Amino acid sequence: MVSAYAFSLLLAGLAWQAAYAAPLYKWVDSAGHVTYSSLPPPAGTPAEKVPLPSQPTAEEIRQSEERAKKIEEQARELEEQRLKQEAQEAEEARLRAMRPPAPVVIEKPVYLPQPIYYPPVMKPPRRHRDKPHPKPSEK
- What gap in Å lies between CA 28 and CA 46, rounded to an integer? 8
- pTM equals 0.40
**Strand, coil or helix: 83:** helix
Predicted confidence at residue 105, as pLDDT, reads 83
Predicted confidence at residue 133, as pLDDT, reads 61
Predicted confidence at residue 91, as pLDDT, reads 97
The one-letter code for the residue type at 113 is P
**Strand, coil or helix: 68:** helix
pLDDT in tens, 91-123: 999 999 999 988 888 788 777 788 888 888 888
pLDDT in tens, 28-65: 888 888 988 888 888 888 888 888 778 889 999 999 99
Q: How confident is the model at residue 139 (pLDDT cuts 50, 70, 90)?
A: low
Label the pairing between strands 24-28 and 34-37.
antiparallel
Predicted confidence at residue 55, as pLDDT, reads 86
Q: Are the CB atoms for 89 and 65 separated by under 8 Å?
A: no
Predicted confidence at residue 82, as pLDDT, reads 98
- What gap in Å lies between CA 64 and CA 15, rounded to an integer? 14
- What gap in Å lies between CA 5 and CA 88, rounded to an integer? 35
Predicted confidence at residue 20, as pLDDT, reads 61
Query: Above 80 in pLDDT, residue 8?
Result: no
